Structure 1
Amino acid sequence: MCVLFTVSDDLVKDCLSVLYNCCICMEGVTKSLASRDDFVMFLFTLMSNKKTFLQTATLIEDILGVRKVKMNLYSSMCSLLTESVFINVFLTHRICIHQCVPYSQNLYSSMCSLLTESVFINVFLTHRIGIHQCVPYTVISSESSDESSLAASPLRHRLPQSMKIVHEIMFKVEVLYVLCVLLVGRQRNQVHRMLAEFKLIPGLNNLFDKLIWRKQTSTHVLHSQNQNCDCSPEISFKIQFLRLLQSFSDHHENLICDGKKGLLTRLISVMKKEPPDSSFRFWQARAVESFLRGTTSYADQVFLLKRGLLEHILFCIIDSGCKSRDVLQSYFDLLGELMKFNMDAFKKFNRYVNSDEKFQTFMTQINSSLVDSNMLVRCIILSLDRFEGQTEDMRVVEVLSECRLLSYMARVENRLTFLFRLVNIINVQTLTQENVSCLNTSLVVLMLARRRGTLPFYLNALREKEYAEKYPGCLLNNFHNLLRFWQRHYLNKDKDSTCLENSSCIPFTYWKETVSVLLGSDRTSLCAIASYIDEAYMDLGKDFLEV
């Protein structure tokens, strides 16, 4: 082992490159190397040499990736170390770890520079060395190759540059991940302000076509076990990029992109071209939806409607044959935000869903998984309620009378069916971050009924449904327990309560009042759940709630 220290750095680099390619091309090599503790520790010593650092870091990242059980923290440590070396400010100013707090301007400036400035971008484009030429793909050129061409361009001359490119991409992936975490942390407002100040989004916008969503050249054919695998550098980079957009747009009111095409326009463009089975569809829809989420903006909705987004979503739901529940849920959520309170959107919906067959297909998709589609149902019910209060406007009357979707939801029996299913598919024990929205959607139905003085009618309908199903007390007791959970959760969560208010345009005080009325103990009150539960069936499931 000591002999290696006497050889030249170039020879060590070549040896590391050979090992790296063996790990890529030969099954079991990586695991074999990872099992050698002495070899792993030796690689760490090579990282202290600037000349061999890049090749060593690239190899050791693969090796540590298969040692998840024994060294599950090493990869994170290496990412932090390599990031510290790569970002010049850490070397120039010798910033200590304890100084790198979430509100450090130097840290965010460095991260934004690392993400938006590509050290190797010119070489990347000039030599057409793509991300797809590196791990985990094997690249086959469509042009013929002979021994003379290989001799003129030996592997050891080509590999280092492509390794640098992959390493840069992986650095960006790691930084994107860190920023995503910080954007939802306690200091998120300061993080948003600094990222906007350092022009992160305009920088990513400038790199969008060149690096982030670059068109693949036709001179290469990709071969891999799974080309949609989320662990490849290219796919990881795209997904982390979309996650960053989702987190940033969700909290920051920004108009910060320069040029003719902004980041949102570019994203919609690639979204329309994505294959039906693409793994990116979920993240693309989430990123666009986060732009609309919150207080409804008519201008933002129109911006997206003019770019054909609604028709594209409806095509994906009705005509594309999409089977992925995650993708469908993301499209339902996006469609709800796009259509909420917007007459033009409902008109466009009716023009696309222009037959009973299409409408039935659409409703079948909604009903197939109400947990996934309930946010869309909520937006339709809220929109219907607002439109019904604006009947002095003839355009609204026209939309209400012609739109299949609004006509369907206007029928009380259909709203009751949704309410029954929403309350019935969840309980306190099965509540998750994904399905708690069903509880809030059921509350929206009852809040609007309370406004119109029809809350007793809805509660009595739930009671009759219980007896028709021969389970007296189960449904209403379950709903009672869910509302007690709601009080404990939302009355102590300022952020969550603000989100409810902004998304529904219903003051949170009215949410609280309605829940209190429903949970009232006075059995003579027609608006209290308790008055619709027979004495013999009171407190069913109470023990489960207290557990």
Structure 2
Amino acid sequence: MASAPAAAGSGAGRGRRSAATVAAWGGWGGRPRPGNILLQLRQGQLTGRGLVRAVQFTETFLTERDKQSKWSGIPQLLLKLHATSHLHSDFVECQNILKEISPLLSMEAMAFVTEERKLTQETTYPNTYIFDLFGGVDLLVEILMRPTISIRGQKLKISDEMSKDCLSILYNTCVCTEGVTKRLAEKNDFVIFLFTLMTSKKTFLQTATLIEDILGVKKEMIRLDEVPNLSSLVSNFDQQQLANFCRILAVTISEMDTGNDDKHTLLAKNAQQKKSLSLGPSAAEINQAALLSIPGFVERLCKLATRKVSESTGTASFLQELEEWYTWLDNALVLDALMRVANEESEHNQASIVFPPPGASEENGLPHTSARTQLPQSMKIMHEIMYKLEVLYVLCVLLMGRQRNQVHRMIAEFKLIPGLNNLFDKLIWRKHSASSLVLHGHNQNCDCSPDITLKIQFLRLLQSFSDHHENKYLLLNNQELNELSAISLKANIPEVEAVLNTDRSLVCDGKRGLLTRLLQVMKKEPAESSFRWVWGQVPANSAQFLLGRGSLTHILYCIVDSECKSRDVLQSYFDLLGELMKFNVDAFKRFNKYINTDAKFQVFLKQINSSLVDSNMLVRCVTLSLDRFENQVDMKVAEVLSECRLLAYIAQVPTQMSFLFRLINIIHVQTLTQENVSCLNTSLVILMLARRKERLPLYLRLLQRMEHSKKYPGFLLNNFHNLLRFWQQHYLHKDKDSTCLENSSCISFSYWKETVSILLNPDRQSPSALVSYIEEPYMDIDRDFTEE
């Protein structure tokens, strides 16, 4: 005997409902008889043939079956709704029927988002499932889109209140019934039409919430340039609407992730880029361009991101009240619905979706009056926190897009950085109560916590803003910029041009700049905290600035004394340590002062050698520094060379060969990613410096001997040959990447190219060509890795 299909699931997308919640809907009981109506309707829904709507049954039949099946009268209401929603209807009766349907579905939506559905059910099937199965979803789509139909040259109109009811019912059905959201996502004309409903403040929130979930499951990204009057629509949003709209934008401007790790390899990315060049800009790039063409768009985002949170409520009472709400709220829908209740209080307009706060009556599910009067201040503050996340995300994506230079200039001009600096202590890294605020079903260390998510998004934005860009000095204040100038003067080194060109009117104000604030809080974070951040390349005066604030000592403590095991965190430590120490005599002195015993040095080396993918940037920086120091005539440099354990260790040829062998051996063309390609570049740095000293043939000969000692001749040099061929394909056509290589190493890119060409020379008589060290029987250098 056939069983009824599952009705409930994660229809709303974005993984908001847990598997446990979905499972709670599984056992509805009841054994369908042959010819079961619901099975026939489900079959019709899948095939588009047969029984698909309530209008295919008589009211008498539906009423009789409802007595047995307890469908809450939904099929009969749909029958009436169809009859009263024809083109010439005034829709008054239609709206009354919607008001009857709405509460039958809203309580099920509440049960889903709060995960408090009772195990015993009065009905065999959820109301939302019955509503969809009898054609309710398709009927509401038709009703909503009636304004797109013209009769005798005039377009039909329906009231905002009726649209709002339709949208709320649709959303509740998406929440509770599997597949509804995906079906709506396939109706591209309907998705585009939904954007037009955001012109009304009365329907904006319901529309935005539904669009967000639809786009979350849509296979193909929507194109914003297809939305009618997009510029006018967005320009007319107030600041709160724009903040809500950013949740939608987060889905429309980010490149869709296939979820396949192979797609993240450089080989796959290069192939995808070649394909994209032939196909033109992606939908995400088109959407970014559409947004940037809207006058004042980025400026308004910057104002939203830096808007101060109202502080009319005392800090202690705010945290206590917010914590009470956070233990219950776990969904943006709940948050928005509560906010709407508060905003519409003066209109005495009951919201279509109502959620009870803690302590509300479980009998009717309605908030108590006293609770509702306490709602607005906490919800406004929470809204500010939640939507800053979305705004920062949108700005971050735009900063990494094709128009990054334009966005960079605008973000600086609109003073985003000083604005975030002013919010740093009170919002971004504010002190919390002893009991941290967490989302329902999560713990305080979970990345889903709004506090942690805000910090992570904030750090990502700063990384995108400051990495390899001269505008990074906007993270300082005027006094700190003066300090940089004084450091350059004292060290008798030229002042960094970017510092001289920094517009002082756009830098941080107050006693401390944003960089100094970050350094202070980072030192207070646990050693394995994920809140780590690297300030791009660090010139000499900037390194001295950071050294003077205890950065190097703190990093060494975390690497050596804290016994940090997290690979991601260690990588950030090594990256920053490398930038601080590169070409900086004082940094090596401080290193030697802290690592003052052989035991400490061995712990440090163990951390380096445990994962060269994480530590190779430090190895590169120390190797480059050693080469420069050896060519300088200076007493301080000579002293450091003679005393520093790390420099003495790196100076040994066996050490360099060990690093070189392992760096080449841990990567292959098919596994190269943006993360581990640095291993290839570090190996090239070692060989370029050897070439400068006319020792390149020696190093290649030693690599050959190491191959033979492993009883596998040719395996390393063949691999290196393939890697260098890929290097030429990857870097010779990427201006940004080649510039980064040149700037970070202080070796001209032409020398990089020359060295790679010399190594790839096919002449087996050349003492600097790789093929001269691969014996003929083991030669495997012509493999077409692009097709593997």
Q: Report the TM range for the smaller structure's normalisation.
A: 0.7 to 0.9
User: Alpha-carbon deviation of 1:544?
Assistant: 4.3
1:189 alignment counterpart: 405
Aligned in 2, Cα 1:87/1:472: closer, same or farther, shift over 3 Å? same
What amino acid is the match of 1:382? L
Corresponding residue SS for 1:154: helix
**Residue of 279, 304, 320 corresponding to 2:562:** 320
User: Alpha-carbon deviation of 1:352?
Assistant: 1.1
Deviations 1:260-289 (A, max 9, x none): 1110111111111113343x32xxx32xx2
**Residue of 161, 176, 182 corresponding to 2:377:** 161
The answer on whether the counterparts of 2:106 and 2:169 sit within 8 Å (CA) in structure 1 is no
Q: Distance in 2 between matches of 1:174 and 1:49?
A: 22
1:173 alignment counterpart: 389
State yes or no: 1:207 paired with 2:423: yes
User: Alpha-carbon deviation of 1:376?
Assistant: 0.8
**Residue of 303, 306, 327 corresponding to 1:116:** 306
Q: Which moved more, 1:113-122 or 1:459-468?
A: 113-122
The answer on whether the counterparts of 1:20 and 1:59 sit within 8 Å (CA) in structure 2 is no
**Residue of 450, 453, 463 corresponding to 1:236:** 453
**Residue of 407, 413, 418 corresponding to 2:654:** 413
Deviations 1:305-325 (A, max 9, x none): 111111111111112122211
Aligned in 2, Cα 1:345/1:271: closer, same or farther, shift over 3 Å? same
1:87 alignment counterpart: 239
The answer on whether the counterparts of 1:520 and 1:530 sit within 8 Å (CA) in structure 2 is yes
The answer on whether the counterparts of 2:234 and 2:242 sit within 8 Å (CA) in structure 1 is no
2:364 alignment counterpart: none
User: Alpha-carbon deviation of 1:541?
Assistant: 6.8
Which of the two has higher C-alpha Rg? Answer: 2
Deviations 1:483-526 (A, max 9, x none): 00000110000000000000000000000000011111121111
Q: Which moved more, 1:258-267 or 1:495-504?
A: 258-267
1:396-435 pair list within 5 angstroms: 396-435=637-676
State yes or no: 1:264 paired with 2:505: no
2:5 alignment counterpart: none
User: Alpha-carbon deviation of 1:87?
Assistant: 2.9
The answer on whether the counterparts of 2:759 and 2:770 sit within 8 Å (CA) in structure 1 is yes
**Residue of 249, 258, 263 corresponding to 2:466:** 249
The answer on whether the counterparts of 1:201 and 1:257 sit within 8 Å (CA) in structure 2 is yes
1:376 alignment counterpart: 618
Normalising by structure 2, we get a TM-score of 0.58
What amino acid is the match of 1:507? S
Residues paired across the two proteins, number: 512
The answer on whether the counterparts of 1:180 and 1:244 sit within 8 Å (CA) in structure 2 is yes
User: Alpha-carbon deviation of 1:343?
Assistant: 0.8
State yes or no: 1:444 paired with 2:685: yes
1:453 alignment counterpart: 694
User: Alpha-carbon deviation of 1:220?
Assistant: 6.8
State yes or no: 1:394 paired with 2:635: yes
User: Alpha-carbon deviation of 1:131?
Assistant: 9.9
1:273 alignment counterpart: 524
User: Alpha-carbon deviation of 1:26?
Assistant: 2.9
1:227 alignment counterpart: 444
Q: Distance in 2 between matches of 1:83 and 1:501?
A: 43
Q: Distance in 1 between matches of 2:167 and 2:396?
A: 31
Q: Distance in 2 between matches of 1:70 and 1:99?
A: 21
State yes or no: 1:522 paired with 2:736: no
State yes or no: 1:26 paired with 2:216: no
User: Alpha-carbon deviation of 1:85?
Assistant: 3.4
User: Alpha-carbon deviation of 1:258?
Assistant: 1.3
Aligned in 2, Cα 1:492/1:297: closer, same or farther, shift over 3 Å? same
Q: Distance in 2 between matches of 1:399 and 1:315?
A: 21
User: Alpha-carbon deviation of 1:90?
Assistant: 7.4
What amino acid is the match of 1:298? A
User: Alpha-carbon deviation of 1:235?
Assistant: 1.9
User: Alpha-carbon deviation of 1:178?
Assistant: 1.3
State yes or no: 1:476 paired with 2:717: yes
Q: Distance in 2 between matches of 1:58 and 1:162?
A: 22
The answer on whether the counterparts of 1:343 and 1:396 sit within 8 Å (CA) in structure 2 is yes
The answer on whether the counterparts of 2:399 and 2:465 sit within 8 Å (CA) in structure 1 is yes
Q: Distance in 2 between matches of 1:510 and 1:329?
A: 28
Aligned in 2, Cα 1:189/1:220: closer, same or farther, shift over 3 Å? closer
Aligned in 2, Cα 1:191/1:47: closer, same or farther, shift over 3 Å? closer
What amino acid is the match of 1:338? L
RMSD of aligned Cα (Å):
3.9
Deviations 1:68-88 (A, max 9, x none): 5579979x99xx999973438
What amino acid is the match of 1:422? L
Q: Distance in 2 between matches of 1:28 and 1:493?
A: 59
Deviations 1:332-365 (A, max 9, x none): 1111111111111111111111111111111111
The answer on whether the counterparts of 1:212 and 1:237 sit within 8 Å (CA) in structure 2 is yes
The answer on whether the counterparts of 1:24 and 1:135 sit within 8 Å (CA) in structure 2 is no
User: Alpha-carbon deviation of 1:153?
Assistant: 8.6
The answer on whether the counterparts of 1:135 and 1:232 sit within 8 Å (CA) in structure 2 is no
What amino acid is the match of 1:518? L
What amino acid is the match of 2:690? A
Q: Distance in 1 between matches of 2:673 and 2:325?
A: 36
State yes or no: 1:42 paired with 2:169: yes
Normalising by structure 1, we get a TM-score of 0.82
User: Alpha-carbon deviation of 1:158?
Assistant: 2.7
User: Alpha-carbon deviation of 1:174?
Assistant: 1.3
Q: Distance in 2 between matches of 1:518 and 1:27?
A: 68
Corresponding residue SS for 1:406: helix
State yes or no: 1:495 paired with 2:736: yes
The answer on whether the counterparts of 1:84 and 1:90 sit within 8 Å (CA) in structure 2 is no
The answer on whether the counterparts of 1:473 and 1:538 sit within 8 Å (CA) in structure 2 is yes
2:583 alignment counterpart: 341
User: Alpha-carbon deviation of 1:25?
Assistant: 6.2
Q: Distance in 1 between matches of 2:288 and 2:541?
A: 44
Q: Distance in 2 between matches of 1:452 and 1:542?
A: 32
Aligned in 2, Cα 1:112/1:417: closer, same or farther, shift over 3 Å? same
Corresponding residue SS for 1:456: helix
What amino acid is the match of 2:383? H
State percent identity of aligned pairs: 57
Q: Which moved more, 1:156-165 or 1:256-265?
A: 156-165
1:142 alignment counterpart: none
What amino acid is the match of 1:309? S
Corresponding residue SS for 1:268: helix
Q: Distance in 1 between matches of 2:628 and 2:288?
A: 52
Corresponding residue SS for 2:237: helix
Instruction: List gaps (5 residues or longer) in structure 1.
Output: 92-96, 140-144
Aligned in 2, Cα 1:133/1:6: closer, same or farther, shift over 3 Å? farther
**Residue of 729, 753, 759 corresponding to 1:512:** 753
